[in-house]
Structure 1
Amino acid sequence: MWLPKILVFSALVGVACCKQNFPPGFKFGAATAAYQVEGAWNVSDKSESIWDVFTHDHPEAIIDRSTGDVACDSYHQWQRDVEIASELGLHFYRFSIAWTRLLPNGFSNYVSEDGKEYYSNLIDALLEKGIEPVVTLYHFDLPQSLQNLGGWTNPLIANWFGEYARVAFSLYGDRVKTWLTINEPIVYCQVSYSTGIHAPGIVSPDFGSLMCSKNAVLAHAKAWRIYDEEFRQKYQGKVSLANLLFWFEPEDENEQEATDLVQQLWSGVYTHPIFSKDGGWPPELEKKLAEKSRQQGYTGSKLPPFTQEEKELVGGTYDFFGLNFYTARTARKAQAGEKVGPWPFIGAPDLDVVMSVRPDWKPQASQLFFSYPRALRLQLSWVKQQYGDIDIFILENGFVGYDADLNDQDRVNFYRDHLEQVLLSIKEDGVKVVGYTAWSMIDNYEWSDGYRSKFGLYAVDFADPQRARRPRASAQYYARVIKQHSLDVHDTNKLTDELY
């Protein structure tokens, strides 16, 4: 009688196991960005980016007064990075091109031979290992020469970016089949211009942030159209952008309207013009900002309108929905006379909305990030509800710590819990999630937080001239998930015993 019981038990285990398997074709990867890892800030003919200038001129703006001058030295250590991607078993490696390294003067009339060769070698080495290169064209590091002309607040930047994109597509389109035009425009537009804590260090919350936002959307659209018209038939690639979305939920049952508005200010500004059927800005947000502008004495809205021609240029410029996701906030309407904290992490003054977190959301090292895994599933469903049955590519998700400990069980747990939500989203909600990207493959330079914040699957010794990389427990865990294409892996508490 015992044999049938074992067989039944085995069958039940098999069913449970299958529930934890990812669909065939689902891809796993990890990511970095040029300024955060490359270093070599003045090697060869590379010019200064806004982050080179910002960190050199305003060291007080960085928590540890550091710069990205050397960072992980991936300019020289790129072969080790490819080895790490292979050790992890990545299906793809997401990295960015430094505009200043490829086009030192910012314009397409001069292409650096050194920059061209650097990225070509990296792409070829990845392909030799069977790893797909996923390439981001812009990850915060604008050429200073273009910033001197107004940067992202100059409407001409859409054309400048389009020319840059055309050069990259021409050079690497035969080998790169997945492109991201721009990364997290909310950060380099609304965070940067609202607070001044990021390069270029200009504080202009009323106008600079929203001028930048419109121009970022137009720049993305120009680049997508160039690929679609000039390169798609030949190379058959896909192009989109990577938006950072926070999940917002009402503080109580009476706060849904406030929550919807703040979600549109955070997410809708960069998604509604591109992914919605109607195009243009989210209507309720456009109305609210126009009312706020009049209350502040402006003759027109602070949100620059789209012309009909611009709406048509932008609408539909995507091949998938690129999503970066880390954390969540609650939202409520401000009470009479209550001061609303600064946008974008504490409040939305233009919407009179206050943001907070729930006590059961687990804090990470940085005060910006709280772990609420279910929020990822809710966010994925929001995208489907808003924009239809669209392929969604998770392009960043990760956990921040302040220590270099290799036994990073909190990070292991973070990845396990969030990947579980991805599986639930796919299998129970019918959301078409096609890939997942861990941020980040290695510790790197985390902008205004310098080298204090550590996201890496691999630790980097920044005191070592060679920037030695060592795998954390989370690297072992993630490699196992990838290899088995499943969350059914061994007890994660045993991972560090195998590493050391």
Structure 2
Amino acid sequence: MLLANKITPIVTLYHWDLPQVLEEKYGGWQNASMANYFSEFANLCFERFGNRVKYWITFNNPWSVAVEGYETGEHAPGLKMGGTGAYNAAHNILKAHAKVWHTYDAQWRNKQKGMVGISLSADWGEPVDVTNQRDIEAAERYVQFYLGWFATPLFNGDYPQIMKDYVARKSAQQGLSSSRLPTFSPHEKSYMRSTCDFMGISHFTTRYITQKNFPSNRGNSYFTDRDLAELVDPRWPDPGSEWLYSVPWGFRRLLNFVKTQYGDPMIYVTGNGVSEKMICTDLCDDWRMQYFRDYINEMLKAVKDGVNVKGYTAWSLIDKFEWDEGYSERFGMYYVDFGSKNKPRYPKASVPYYKRIISSNGFPNEGEIESWKRKALETCTSSNQLLAADPLISHMEMVTEIVVPTVCTLCILLSAVFLMFLLRTQI
């Protein structure tokens, strides 16, 4: 259907959906055998869909799989294996990605002419004090422990040196004989290097970073291994998710970092957007339009800098399930009434606004941008009126589905009682 409508499908093979049996029987991503199972699954997908799909993403945001799945326990499988679980999971995920890339390269690339990449989540880290060397190094560590943890092995064959040094030192201070960060063999390094045909980047916000020393007696933790603190400027806009502040200039810096660090790879922005709180039902989401405008402008500046950005994806088309936050955070350009039986959708102002951005492939001039915004805000008022009427529609559904059958039942019962009364009086 996508192809019929001239839309190019980009398929993600793994978005945090490990079969439960593999978790229970083998320990999930703690087990190196997952690479083989994942490769078999990917190979089946290449066989069945590769004639129509030319862009494959192995993993979406493996950082969250590793850290929130096996370090903090916020996400499935909910394990809290401080200081080791995340590193082991990431290690096996990276090997799984490399195996899938080689499977495609050896068996399918010549026939199908497609590409295999990965989508990495990456916030930007900016030094609190740009004249302070310790803050500069801390900001570098923040990005390397986040993006570099996964990107550097896939492009250069091994973990970032600063990450290896810090985890090894922390491990030694804790009396361990070896680093908690696993190591790749020479063969694995060679096998893993250059296994990304493109890099997907999912980016939402920025943090200020400063040096902070964590003593070894604080215990094992991915977070304390970094020896840094994350800060935000209270003046940054934060309309929705508590972690998401609008800091557009960080986007351009991140994209330039990727270009410099990883040899100018082909980049697809696989996610960029902003949420609002659940209580907000105002479809005139001017803050989202402003976010898109500011972030896309910074991306276009990066393109002018020479960064090889090939595509951009707004996050997201509709309101949806946000993992541990459920339906309480709304990233969609279409409002979904989750409380209604049929889940009706209403376009927010960002819909016509973003549509114009796509059709123009950017921003023509300031005057037209403001015109788009005015028209978008005018359009959303009609949707607001529809949404305001929705409780009445729900009430009407209730009358149809509950009240009418109930009344009918009562009428039948009363008729039966009246009939019995008549028969008794006649007797």
* Larger helix percent: 2
Residue 418 (structure 1) aligned with residue 418 (structure 2) = no
Residue 274 (structure 1) aligned with residue 154 (structure 2) = yes
Residue 310 (structure 1) aligned with residue 191 (structure 2) = no
In the TM superposition, residue 192 of structure 1 has moved relative to its aligned partner by: 2.4
Alignment match, 1:151: 28
Alignment match, 2:323: 447
Cα deviations by residue, 1:382-409 (Å, 9 ceiling, x for unpaired): 0011012221111100101112331111
In the TM superposition, residue 176 of structure 1 has moved relative to its aligned partner by: 0.6
Answer 1 or 2: higher relative contact order, Cα 8 Å, separation at least 6. 1
Alignment match, 1:494: 375
Structure 1 unaligned spans of 5+: 1-124
Cα deviations by residue, 1:130-175 (Å, 9 ceiling, x for unpaired): 1111110000111111111210110000111100100111110000
In the TM superposition, residue 322 of structure 1 has moved relative to its aligned partner by: 1.0
- Alpha carbons of structure 1 residues 411 and 164: separation in structure 2 relative to 1, 3 Å: same
- Alpha carbons of structure 1 residues 343 and 207: separation in structure 2 relative to 1, 3 Å: closer
- Alpha carbons of structure 1 residues 143 and 257: separation in structure 2 relative to 1, 3 Å: same
Alignment match, 1:370: 245
Q: Is the 8 A contact 1:460 1:468 kept in 2?
A: yes
In the TM superposition, residue 496 of structure 1 has moved relative to its aligned partner by: 2.7
- Alpha carbons of structure 1 residues 384 and 483: separation in structure 2 relative to 1, 3 Å: same
Alignment match, 1:404: 281
- Tell me, in whole angstroms, the C-alpha distance in 1 between the residues paired with 2:207 and 2:187: 36
Residue 293 (structure 1) aligned with residue 293 (structure 2) = no
In the TM superposition, residue 239 of structure 1 has moved relative to its aligned partner by: 1.0
Cα deviations by residue, 1:456-491 (Å, 9 ceiling, x for unpaired): 011111112222222111111111111122323424
In the TM superposition, residue 182 of structure 1 has moved relative to its aligned partner by: 0.4
Q: What secondary structure, in the 3-state scheme, does the structure 1 residue paired with 2:331 have?
A: coil
- Alpha carbons of structure 1 residues 291 and 337: separation in structure 2 relative to 1, 3 Å: closer
Determine what percentage of the aligned residue pairs are the same residue: 38
In the TM superposition, residue 336 of structure 1 has moved relative to its aligned partner by: 7.8
Q: What secondary structure, in the 3-state scheme, does the structure 1 residue paired with 2:116 have?
A: strand
Alignment match, 1:474: 350
Give the one of 249, 256, 262 matched to 1:381: 256
- Tell me, in whole angstroms, the C-alpha distance in 1 between the residues paired with 2:349 and 2:220: 37
Alignment match, 2:93: 216
- Tell me, in whole angstroms, the C-alpha distance in 1 between the residues paired with 2:221 and 2:334: 33
- Tell me, in whole angstroms, the C-alpha distance in 2 between the residues paired with 1:352 and 1:248: 14
- Tell me, in whole angstroms, the C-alpha distance in 1 between the residues paired with 2:214 and 2:245: 28
Q: Is the 8 A contact 1:190 1:205 kept in 2?
A: no
Q: Is the 8 A contact 1:409 1:493 kept in 2?
A: no
Q: What secondary structure, in the 3-state scheme, does the structure 1 residue paired with 2:22 have?
A: helix
- Tell me, in whole angstroms, the C-alpha distance in 2 between the residues paired with 1:439 and 1:477: 14
Residue 165 (structure 1) aligned with residue 46 (structure 2) = no
In the TM superposition, residue 207 of structure 1 has moved relative to its aligned partner by: 1.0
- Tell me, in whole angstroms, the C-alpha distance in 2 between the residues paired with 1:330 and 1:340: 23
Q: Is the 8 A contact 2:337 2:344 kept in 1?
A: yes
Alignment match, 2:395: none
In the TM superposition, residue 368 of structure 1 has moved relative to its aligned partner by: 0.9
In angstroms, what is the RMSD of aligned CA positions?
A: 1.9
In the TM superposition, residue 410 of structure 1 has moved relative to its aligned partner by: 0.6
Q: What secondary structure, in the 3-state scheme, does the structure 1 residue paired with 2:122 have?
A: strand
- Alpha carbons of structure 1 residues 469 and 336: separation in structure 2 relative to 1, 3 Å: closer
- Tell me, in whole angstroms, the C-alpha distance in 2 between the residues paired with 1:340 and 1:320: 39
Alignment match, 2:10: 134
Amino acid at match of 1:420: N
In the TM superposition, residue 441 of structure 1 has moved relative to its aligned partner by: 1.0
Structure 2 unaligned spans of 5+: 383-427
Cα deviations by residue, 1:186-243 (Å, 9 ceiling, x for unpaired): 0010122221111111101211110001011111111111111111111111110000
Q: Is the 8 A contact 1:180 1:239 kept in 2?
A: yes
- Alpha carbons of structure 1 residues 272 and 139: separation in structure 2 relative to 1, 3 Å: same
Give the one of 119, 140, 143 matched to 1:263: 143
Q: Is the 8 A contact 1:404 1:454 kept in 2?
A: no
Q: Is the 8 A contact 1:194 1:205 kept in 2?
A: yes
Residue 352 (structure 1) aligned with residue 227 (structure 2) = yes
Alignment match, 1:96: none
Q: Is the 8 A contact 2:88 2:181 kept in 1?
A: yes
- Tell me, in whole angstroms, the C-alpha distance in 2 between the residues paired with 1:354 and 1:365: 23
Q: In the TM superposition, what are the counterparts of 1:96-111 in structure 2 within 5 Å?
A: none
In the TM superposition, residue 281 of structure 1 has moved relative to its aligned partner by: 0.9
- Tell me, in whole angstroms, the C-alpha distance in 1 between the residues paired with 2:205 and 2:221: 16
Give the one of 61, 65, 75 matched to 1:184: 61
Q: Is the 8 A contact 1:340 1:353 kept in 2?
A: no
Q: What secondary structure, in the 3-state scheme, does the structure 2 residue paired with 1:262 have?
A: helix
Give the one of 55, 58, 83 matched to 1:206: 83
Give the one of 97, 111, 127 matched to 1:250: 127
Alignment match, 2:203: 325
- Tell me, in whole angstroms, the C-alpha distance in 2 between the residues paired with 1:188 and 1:408: 31
Q: Is the 8 A contact 1:443 1:456 kept in 2?
A: yes
Q: Is the 8 A contact 1:246 1:325 kept in 2?
A: yes
Q: May I ask how many residue pairs the two structures share in their alignment?
A: 370
- Tell me, in whole angstroms, the C-alpha distance in 1 between the residues paired with 2:18 and 2:145: 24
Q: What secondary structure, in the 3-state scheme, does the structure 2 residue paired with 1:326 have?
A: coil
Alignment match, 1:115: none
After superposing on structure 2, the runs of 4+ consecutive aligned residues of structure 1 that deviate more than 4 Å are: 335-344
- Tell me, in whole angstroms, the C-alpha distance in 2 between the residues paired with 1:342 and 1:413: 41
Amino acid at match of 1:295: Q
